[in-house]
Structures are given as C-alpha cells and as structure tokens.
A and B are shown apart, each in its own frame.
Chain A
Amino acid sequence: MNTIFALAGIVIKELYRRKDFYVLFVITAVITLIMASVNVFQEGKIVRYLKDICLLLIWISSLAIAIGTAARQIPAERESRTIFPLLAKPVSRWQVIVGKFLGCWLACGIALVVFYLFFGVVSGAKEGSWPILQYFQAFWLQWAMLGVVVAMVLLGSVLFSAPSANATICLVALTGIFVLGSHLHKLAGTQPAPLAILLSVIYFLMPHLEWFYAARERLVFEQGLIGWGDCGLATLYVAAYVGLFLFLTWLIFRRKILTTG
C-alpha cells in the first residue's frame, strides 16, 4: 500500500509543479468575476447564471485536468525511461497502475476543493446563503465521476500510441456520454435492427456519467439534495467502472513490452 501511496504522491506533486491547474483556475476566476460584475437591469440578486457559468467552467477545467494528467502518466514514464528503474524495484505493474490512478484522482480532488471553495465564496456572497451539504454533494459526485474519467484515460494510455490521441479519443467519448448518454435507448428505438441492437448494447455498457452532470444542474436551480442512498449507489456504480477499467488496463499493461521508441 505504501508503494501505491508513494506513486500517488509523485503524481500529486506533478499537479502543483505544472501550470495547467493555475491557468485553468485563473481563467475560471476571471470569467466568473467579470460575469458577476455585469449589471442586469440594476438587479443585484441575480445569481443562477453566475452559478451556471462558474460550475460549467469548473466541469470543463476538472475534465481537462483529469484527462491531461492521466493521459501522460504512463507514456511520460516510458518516454523518460523512468519506467525501467521503477519496475526494477519491487513494484509490480498493478501497483504502478493503481498508484497512478490514485494520484490522478486525488490530484483532481485537490483541484476540485479549490474550485468549489471559490464557487462557494462567489455564489454565497452574491446569494447570501451557504447550502454546504449541496455543495458537498455536487463536489463528491463530480469527484467520483472523475474517477471513471481517470481510469478510462489510463486504459487509453496503454491502448493508444500517443497521449494526444488518447486525450482526444477520450474527450470525444466523454462528450458522447454527456450528450447522448440518457437518450441512446430512445435513439435505438428509432433505428433498424442491427444498429438498434448495437446502440442498446452501448447504452447498457457505457458508464452513465450524465447522472453526475445532472447534480450540477440541481445545484444551479436550487432543487434540493439528492437522496444520500442514491449518492451511495452512484458511488458504488462508479467504483465498479473504475475497477473494470483498471483491470483492463492491467491486463494490457502486464504483457506490454516496454520500449521507448
């Protein structure tokens, strides 16, 4: 376990050494504050559009951090040849994968804490109320969802040749899930037989990350808490997909011949 945490620690250190997070946070903060200063009919209590924009930027930023961080982990180790001394030590390949996953996921969590603190301060100051439990629920569901993203991208990093290709393919797949996720079975119903079956199979196989995005909308429109039992089930659902993706990653990575070229 210590080995896994040591590997995770290196990934977390990488997050604050690199400038990605700082740039994304500054962009989010600047856009949100500019939007907060807009005068709409001299009505100072308008807040939902601000929450909407800020949370959208947080979602985009966190996805960028998750994909960007996870996509370069294994390729960068191979590129710089540090994977060889790493595996020469008593570190197994599954430990590398789990350590990398944990590091990326925790790094996303740290970034999300900063983003949500900013969101809480801005929306709370403007709204005059602090629904801490709702903030926590939205944060937790988003962080849990990012676990699937990180695991999916790690799988991509052992499948695809370049981090850029992996990041692009994962981004397209995630966009598809968020946009079409809950509607794919409706679409399947309107298609002829072979395509309908294919769409239905994809619908039942893919992780339904759009549920977690819906939690963001609940926060924007002040719709109250989601049942804690449902949050727990959603967390288990996410954990199952993380397990599946990490297992697939290990299956491919354990037999992979590691070369630098």
Chain B
Amino acid sequence: MNPWLILTFLVTLVFTFSTWLQPRAAKWSGGRESDHLMQVLLGDGRKILANHVFVQADVYFHSGYYPSVFDQAYTPTNSSHMTEPGHEEEPGHADGVDNQHETAENHESDHEKEMSFLKEPKDWIEAFGRRFMITEHKHLEAGKEREMLPFLKLSAELDPQRIDTYTVAAYWLSRTLGKTDQAEEFLREGLKANPRSYEILFELGRISYENRKDTARARNLWSAALDRWNEQEPQKEHPNLFALDQILVHLARLEEKQGNYAQAIHWLEEAIAKDATPSPDALRKQIEELKAKMPPK
C-alpha cells in the first residue's frame, strides 16, 4: 500500500478526532482554559505569592525601610498608608476635606507607630550594622511611586481577587503619574474580577470626578459604591468605616460643588449617623456652613 495514502489517512483521522473531541475536552477542565498561565501553574498557591509581591510593593513604598520576618508585630496591618500622600493640600478643596485630612493624619500617626520597629541596638554588632542598613522611614514621593507598579501589576496577575492591588496602583497612576487611562483600564480589570467591590467603584468614581471632570458619572459610581458597601459591610463585626467615610464625604463634596446643598447635607449627616467619621464635629461644622449657603425657603 502507498505509504503517502496511509499518512494522509492518519492525518485525516487525528484531525477529525481533534475537532470532535476538543469541545468535550474543554468541558472536562471546568472552563479553566481561559485562566491565566500563573493560575494554571500555581493553583491557589499563587495567592501566597501575590501577597508576598504586594508586600514587596510596600517595601518599595517605604524605600526599603521595612520590618523583617523577625519584626512581624510591626508589619503594617493594611494598605491604607500606601494611598496617603504626605500633607498635600488640594487647591480649592481645603475646606471640604478637613475631615479627610484629619483621618489621614490619624492613619499616618498610627502608621508611624507601626513602623517604629528599630529599637535601641543591643550590642556593638547591631549598632555598627545599622550604619549599613536603611534606617530612615520615608515614603516614595515626587513621581517615584512608579517604582511600586511592577509589583502591583504582578500581584494582580497572581491574585485578581486582591482588591488593594488595583486601588493602590490606580491611585498613584492617576494622581501622581498622570496616567488616567491606564489607571481606569486597570480598575476595570479589577472590577471584572471583583464585580462587588465598593473600593474599586469608589476609585473609578474618583478618577471620573478628579481627572475626567465627569460629575454625573462620578456620582453614579460613588452611589453604586455606597450601595455595595451597604450590601456587604453593615453585618460585619468590624465594617470598613474608613471606606464609607471616603464615599460619603466625596459624594457630599460633589453635591456641594453642584450646588445641591440639601443632598450634600444628607450625605454628611449619614456619615455622622453611621459613625463613619472619626471627627463628627468637623462634619457638623460643614453642615452648618452648607445650611448657611442654602437659599431661604
């Protein structure tokens, strides 16, 4: 028999089997074929790696000054310090964000305490070793925040469910580096992986409001963020009040700018009623100021 004929027959056979079996084989894997390579290779272990990579971004944010595994008690407990720029005053917003500044300062002071892990050296070896180590606690600034980005991107690829990664990266991309499109795109990726995340919706709203100047869209996004927060957080033992404070104060600021003083007062009152703010007196003062601006009935 002609060997070419046999070869043609075998090629046809394998091709036919392939087209017939491929759709079935796709079902065997439970739809995992579209997963990222990392997920296929590492499984759930990638989440541990993602955490390590995110911590590395934090190490970079602190310019290498970071507690080691032997100073675990001093490791920062959350990532809120990664989105708090020094004491920048936003022009035109100083009055409306007193409360937020106070909150940020409280967080900063807590963070300073967290990071004071270097005690007095116990012996000459430790004292001399300090001269080589990084012993100054300072955060990246003046555009150098970009140095964290490779780790945040990798962390998101390893664990798409880690929300901090998207919000921290988008915060710096849009605020300091002027990369609004990239920030929004990254947040959209995050929202696709975490459709119920109020943090990502809040950050998208912030981009719409501060960078795109699209008030209507920002209002919608922040309202959606508030809805998500109300769905998930109130029933928790320790709800994320910091996030609620941010959403409500930003909504209030937006309404104030639009001249909707009654709505702005409503959001600030909600922040006080839900104990979201650490400084209710500052909000009460703002409410009084807004009431004074309202036209008489």
Instruction: Tell me whether B126 and A185 are in contact (CB under 8 A).
Output: yes
Q: Is residue A46 contacting chain B, with contact meaning CB distance below 8 A?
A: yes
Q: Is the CB of B134 within 8 A of A233?
A: no
When the two chains form their complex, are residues B129 and A214 in contact, meaning their CB atoms are under 8 A apart? yes
A186 touches B70 (CB 8 A): yes
Number of residues on chain A facing chain B (CB within 8 A):
35
A225 to chain B, nearest CB (A): 11
Contact between B63 and A221 (Cβ–Cβ < 8 Å)? Answer: yes
Interface 1/0s, chain A 44-74, versus B by CB < 8 A?
A: 0111110000000000000000000000000
Which residues between 131 and 168 of chain B lie within 8 Å of chain A, taking CB atoms?
131-134, 136, 143, 146-147, 149-151, 153
A227 x B150 contact (CB < 8 A): no
Main secondary structure of the interface of B (DSSP, over half): helix
Are A46 and B147 in contact, CB atoms less than 8 angstroms apart? yes
Interface flags for A8-48 (1: CB within 8 Å of B; 0: not) read 00000000000000000000000000000010111101111
Per-residue CB contact flags for chain B residues 117-138 toward chain A (1 = under 8 Å, else 0) read 0000011011011011110100
Provided the pairs A183-B68, A230-B131 are in contact, do residues A48 and B60 lie with their beta carbons within 8 angstroms? yes
- B173 cross-chain contacts in A, Cβ below 8 A: 41
B63 and A49 contacting across the interface, CB-CB below 8 Å: no
Contact residues in B for A217 (Cβ distance below 8 Å) = 64, 133-134
Q: Is B182 located at the chain interface by the 8 A CB criterion?
A: yes
Closest to A223 in B: B134
Nearest neighbor of A220 in chain B, beta-carbon distance = B64
Q: Would you call A42 and B179 a contact (CB within 8 A)?
A: yes
Interface residues of A in 232-261 (CB under 8 A from B): 233-234
Q: How far, in angstroms, from A42 to B182 measured CA to CA in the complex?
A: 8
Flag whether B177 is at the interface (Cβ < 8 A).
yes
Q: B267: CB under 8 A from chain A? A: no
B54 within 8 A of partner (CB): no
Stretch at the interface among A95-103, A114-122, A162-170, A202-210: A202-210
Q: Of A43, A204, A210, A223, which is within 8 A of B63 by CB?
A: A223
> Considering the chains assembled together, what is the distance between the CA atoms of A187 and B69 in angstroms?
12
B129 touches A210 (CB 8 A): yes
On whether the beta carbons of A211 and B128 are closer than 8 Å, the reply is yes
* Alpha-carbon gap, A102 to B37, bound state (A): 48
With an 8 A cutoff between CB atoms, is B186 at the interface? yes
Q: Which residue of A lies closest to B123 (CB)?
A: A185
**Nearest A residue to B122, CB-CB:** A185
| B98-134 near A? 1/0 per residue, CB < 8 Å | 0000000000000000000000001101101101111
The residues of A that contact B122 with a CB separation of less than 8 Å are 185
Task: Name the interface size band of chain B.
Answer: 20 to 34
B64 contacts across to A, CB distance below 8 A: 217-218, 220-221, 223
- Cβ of B186 and Cβ of A41 under 8 Å apart? yes
Q: Does A158 reach chain B (CB closer than 8 Å)? A: no
| Residue pair B132, A230 in contact (C-beta under 8 Å) | yes
Question: In the complex, A226 Cα to B134 Cα: how many Å?
Answer: 10
Q: Is the CB of A154 closer than 8 A to any CB of chain B?
A: no
Complex alpha-carbon distance, A186 and B68, angstroms: 12
Q: How far is the CB of B244 from chain A (nearest CB, A)?
A: 29
Say yes or no: A41-B179 contact (C-beta < 8 A), given A185-B126, A208-B125: yes
Residue of B nearest to A229 (CB): B131
**Would you list which residues of chain A between 184 and 212 have a CB under 8 Å from chain B?**
185-187, 203-204, 208, 210-212
Residues on B with beta carbons closer than 8 Å to the beta carbon of A182: 126, 129
Give the shortest distance, in Å, between A123 (CB) and chain B (any CB): 13
Nearest B-chain residue to A47, judged by Cβ: B147
CB neighbours of A106 from chain B (8 A): none
Determine whether the beta carbon of B134 is less than 8 Å from that of A43.
no
Q: Within 8 Å CB of A187, what residues of B?
A: 70
The answer to whether A43 and B179 touch across the interface, beta carbons within 8 angstroms, is: yes
Q: List 5 A-B contacts (CB under 8 A).
A: A40-B150, A214-B133, A218-B134, A226-B131, A226-B132
5 smallest beta-carbon distances between A and B, as pairs: A221-B64, A214-B132, A183-B70, A48-B147, A211-B132
Tell me the A residues contacting B by CB distance below 8 Å.
38, 40-43, 45-49, 141, 182-183, 185-187, 203-204, 208, 210-212, 214-215, 217-218, 220-223, 226-227, 230, 233-234
Extra contacts, 11 of them, besides A41-B173, A46-B146, A223-B63 (Cβ < 8 A), are A38-B150, A43-B179, A46-B147, A46-B150, A186-B70, A204-B123, A211-B128, A211-B129, A215-B132, A226-B132, A233-B128
